[in-house]
């Protein structure tokens, strides 16, 4: 058996642990030959693969990023390098030329959408859910999310000490796109006073009320705001647009907008920190290493069972799988009845409403 592995979309802690688990499981269990596709789907377009033997995947479980490289704009169905033309037939021909019996795609909703469309052309595909945003449909946890939450929590802890020392409002803007999971979990973990997420548009007057109340009592306020958060009746804060990308909108800057709105109406200083790509870099947490290893092993099991065109998912503590069609291009935000939201409210955290 010959199997290809690629990592699509943005980099994420735990990618190498998945690559290692898939390759080692397939080699040990099936005696398979494993090929790594370089730079995601771009490697299939530009015909670039390399062998992944036991030596190639040794010692990478703790490494951040991806040894294969990735690319978040290489959609074979709308390829930017060919003026937006569909080059998927050429990709299919290359897959057949390589003699691949299966392709493992490790990525987020965009990668799963491409994987699903490729599977419809006859390529046997197995998906692994990857995103620090934790926003893929049908899975409770994506690897990389725990690491991002740990990094953001540490930053919020540090901002609290300087905010407390100077009597400031400290705003931290997190990643997450249109989902508030990172801001919510890190905000709860660090004891943030206000948590603003995309799923609950906030009222500026309520945020001001909390800041003024704390200004007269604790003297400082810590705000965790997701990049996709927006005020009631307002719009998303867009940092830039990249039209050649499958997801052209790049969010960012809501923390600065909020600071500009709060500062004229408060007596204390208001400061904003935007962590940006710090959240997705570096070594994965032990939790993410284990979860990524479980996902990689489960993907190999699906291949061994010849159960293709499915993505591995986590439900509670058990692994399962769902059809790629059910997750392609779909997001999972924080539901209105999520227990974490109730825990936040009951412990006095303001959600800006």
How many residues belong to the chain?
353
Strand partners, 117: none
Residue 347, classified by CB atoms within 10 Å of its CB into exposed (0-12), middle (13-18) or buried (19+), is: exposed
- Choose among 128, 100, 98: nearest CA to 115: 128
Task: At 173, list the tokens.
Answer: 């803007």
First CA to last CA distance, the chain: 56
Do the Cβ atoms of 107 and 56 come closer than 8 Å?
no
Q: Which one of the listed residues 113, 133, 135, 288 is annotated catalytic?
A: 133
How far apart are alpha carbons 296 and 281 in whole angstroms?
20
Return the sign of the alpha-carbon dihedral for residues 18, 21, 22, 24.
Answer: positive
- Choose among 277, 109, 73, 250: nearest CA to 177: 250
Give one DSSP letter per residue of 26-66, joined into a string.
Answer: HHHHH--EEEEETTTHHHHHHT-EEE--TTTTTT-TT--S-
How far apart are alpha carbons 43 and 21 in whole angstroms?
21
In 10 A of CB 172, how many CB atoms? 25
Residue 140 catalytic? no
**In this structure, what are the phi and psi dihedrals at residue 46, rounded to the nearest 5 degrees?**
-95, 5
**What Å distances lie between residue 190 and 119, 149, 160, 195, 241, CA to CA?**
42, 10, 9, 11, 32
Give Cα 177 distance to the centre of its chain.
9
Query: Which sequence positions are flagged as catalytic?
Result: 133
């Amino acid at each position: 058996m010959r199997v290809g592995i690629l990592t699509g979309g943005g980099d994420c802690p735990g990618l190498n642990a998945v690559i290692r688990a898939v390759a080692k499981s397939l080699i040990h269990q099936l005696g398979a030959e494993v090929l790594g596709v370089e730079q995601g789907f771009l490697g299939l377009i530009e015909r670039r693969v390399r062998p992944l033997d036991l030596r190639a995947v040794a010692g990478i479980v703790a490494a951040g990023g991806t040894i294969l490289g990735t690319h978040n704009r290489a959609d074979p169905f709308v390829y930017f390098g060919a003026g937006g033309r569909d080059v998927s037939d050429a990709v299919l021909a290359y897959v057949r030329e390589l003699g691949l019996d299966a392709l493992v795609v490790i990525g987020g909703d965009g990668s799963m959408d491409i994987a699903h469309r490729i599977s419809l052309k006859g390529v046997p595909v197995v998906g692994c859910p990857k995103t620090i945003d934790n926003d893929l449909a049908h899975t409770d946890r994506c690897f990389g999310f725990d690491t991002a939450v740990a990094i953001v929590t540490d930053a919020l802890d540090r901002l609290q000490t300087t905010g407390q020392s100077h009597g400031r409002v400290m705003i931290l803007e997190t990643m997450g796109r249109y989902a508030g999971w990172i801001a919510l979990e890190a905000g709860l973990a660090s004891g943030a006073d206000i948590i603003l997420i995309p799923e609950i548009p906030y009222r500026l007057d309520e945020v001001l009320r909390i800041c003024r109340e704390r200004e007269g009592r604790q003297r400082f306020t810590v705000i965790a705001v997701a990049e996709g958060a927006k005020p009631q009746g307002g719009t998303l804060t867009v940092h830039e647009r990249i039209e050649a990308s499958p997801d052209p909108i790049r969010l960012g800057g809501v923390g600065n907008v909020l600071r500009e709105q709060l500062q004229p109406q408060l007596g204390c200083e208001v400061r904003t920190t935007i962590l940006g790509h710090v959240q997705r870099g570096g070594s994965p947490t032990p939790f993410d290493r284990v979860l990524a290893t479980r996902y990689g092993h489960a993907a190999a099991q699906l291949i061994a069972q010849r159960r293709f065109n499915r993505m591995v998912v986590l439900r509670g503590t058990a692994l399962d799988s769902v059809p790629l069609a059910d997750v392609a291009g779909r997001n999972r935000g924080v539901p209105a009845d999520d227990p974490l939201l109730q825990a936040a409210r009951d412990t006095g955290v303001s959600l800006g409403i």
